[in-house]
Amino acid sequence: MKTSFYYQQQSLYCENTNLNAFAQKQSSPFYLYSKNELLQNCKAITEAGSGSDFLPCYALKANYNPTLLRLIRDMGFGADVVSGGELEFALKIGFPAEKIVFAGVGKSAAEIEFAIQTGIHSLNIESAEELKQTARIAARLQKKVRIALRVNPDIDAHTHAYISTGKHINKFGITIDEALRLYPAAANDPWLNPAGIHVHIGSQITEKGPFLKTVEFLLDFASLLKDRNVPITYLDLGGGIGVNYKNDFRDPDVPNSYISEILPAYINGLKDSGLKLVAELGRSVIATSGLLITQVLYRKQTPLKKFIVVDAAMNNLIRPSLYSAYHEIVPLNLDSQEKETVDVVGPVCESGDFFAKDRAMQPLKQGDFIAITAAGAYGQALASNYNLRPDIPEYLVDGETVLTIYKGRSISDIYDYYEQ
């Protein structure tokens, strides 16, 4: 699958739009997304599930810009939500309730009631106490609710510790032994329908192995439940498929995402189960469609380091500070084959405000624009107004047309919010 970002005559393009020319006319920093890249990712996911009873659900936590959500919805996706706020947002966008799954380790009673009243596809249950709470609320409402227990298979996803979720040291899910006790109890409850098994082993996984182990686990566990007269009708596969954060767009044959390498193998391993398959995908849908565009403010030299100070900061994209996450950083104009080793940092008053450390890059000067790549997921969604830095605009490229899909906020907007 070809990326929608490429260099032509030394300038970086998104679809048919010259990004340096566009950036010269805007206030920076800003987020910019490719409609074509987003739709390509969605298509790759739906094609991986063709021939199966397959429901891909987009994880709103990755990016909840309404324009992007509507594009994803129109590709046939459901929604994966982890809060009452996300559930309400998904419904407002127009995701059908019957195509929404609700995950999350700490759902409140109000959130559970909202989900049951709404009639969503299913609740993913994370603990014995949450199961009891759900049963009490469903009985009071006299509405039967479809559930899946999130079973923790103790599979190492070989990813960052902060985004590993399928080991016994993680807060997520229920152990296999406990789940084997809870499923029959749920099946005997008149208001619970334990129809599914849910797993999610982690995020930013770039190899098939952990998913193939998960296939074995799901098939074995479904068989154990069948022996206990618990009729499972669907498997919720979770998500976690990674993207290529090191693509600098200079080689058009370098994959931008691992969807096509991983997801078909995951789904094919379960096709013969006869069960409906649900997936919860966020990063692999949206990450590679987005760039954070920022301008060089200053060069700075200390006895030990060269710094490139840019006008974006950790409040705009916190992943490097939070996870030491790697994002490729590319110039909007290529003008040198030379490299220098620099730290790319923002203006926030924290030593942790950086985008790259000891990175070999084309020499940059004041006023140059650069793009932080694969920033469509967990960028704007994790942004803050720390240091009273306002939210930044978001743009969507559709061929040669660029649409404003979020105008950002001003300091006056933030002040007025508190003074209301």
Superfamily per CATH, domain 35-285: Alanine racemase (3.20.20.10)
Q: Where in the chain is the domain with CATH 3.20.20.10?
A: 35-285
The overall average pLDDT reported for the chain is 94
In angstroms, the Cα distances linking 406 to 67, 395, 403, 418 are 9, 7, 9, 21
Dist CA 290 CA 65 (whole Å): 12
Range scoring the smallest mean pLDDT among 69-78, 255-264, 395-404? 255-264
**Where does residue 280 rank: exposed (0-12), middle (13-18), buried (19+ CB within 10 A)?**
buried
pLDDT at 167 over 50: no
pLDDT at 264 over 80: yes
Range 11-17, long-range pairs (CB < 8 A, 24+ positions): 11/332, 11/333, 11/334, 12/249, 12/330, 12/331, 12/332, 12/333, 12/371, 14/291, 14/397, 15/397, 15/398, 15/399, 15/400, 16/399, 16/400, 17/397, 17/399, 17/400, 17/402
- Output the pLDDT for position 253: 86
Percent of the chain with pLDDT over 90: 89
pLDDT of residue 172: 65
Rounded Cα distance between 304 and 114, Å, is 56
* Tokens found for residue 129: 């106490």
Confidence of residue 161 (pLDDT cuts 50, 70, 90): very low
CA-to-CA distance for 35 and 71, rounded, in angstroms?
A: 8
CATH 2.40.37.10 domain residues, the chain: 5-32+288-419
Q: What tokens does 58 get?
A: 């987009």
Task: Specify the CATH superfamily of domain 5-32+288-419.
Answer: Lyase, Ornithine Decarboxylase; Chain A, domain 1 (2.40.37.10)
The pLDDT tens digits of the residues spanning 222-257 come to: 999 999 999 899 999 999 999 999 999 999 888 888
Q: What is the pLDDT of residues 278-300, one digit of tens each?
A: 999 999 999 999 999 999 999 99
Q: Supply the residues annotated as catalytic.
A: 349
pLDDT, residue 1, reads 65
